[in-house]
Amino acid sequence: MQIWSWSGFFDYLTNPFLAYGALVTVGLTVASLTIGLILGIMLALMRLSGGRVLPRIAAFYCWIFRGTPLLVQLLIIYTGLPLFGLRFSVLEAALIGLSLNEAAYLSETVRGGIMAVQKGQGEAARALGLRRAQVFRFVTWPQAFRIMIPSLGNSVNGLLKTTSITSVISMEELLRRTQILIQERFLVLELFVVAALYYLLMTTAWDLVQRRLEARYGRAHGDDRGQR
Q: Is 55 exposed, middle or buried (0-12, 13-18, 19+ CB in 10 A)?
A: middle
Sorted by where each starts, the structural domains of the chain and their CATH numbers stand as 6-227 (1.10.3720.10)
* pLDDT digit string, tens, across residues 87-144: 999 999 999 999 999 999 999 999 999 898 888 877 788 787 888 788 888 888 888 8
Query: What pLDDT, on a 0 to 100 scale, did the predictor assign at position 218?
Result: 66
Taking the C-alpha atoms of residue 69 and residue 216, their distance in angstroms, rounded to an integer, is 35
Average pLDDT of the residues in 165-181 = 95
For the cut 60, the answer to whether the pLDDT of residue 206 exceeds it is yes
* pLDDT digit string, tens, across residues 181-197: 999 888 999 999 999 99
Taking phi over 0 as left and psi of -120 to 50 as alpha, with beta for the rest, 170 belongs to: left
Contacts of 74 (CB under 8 A, 6+ apart): 93, 94, 97, 165, 166, 168, 169
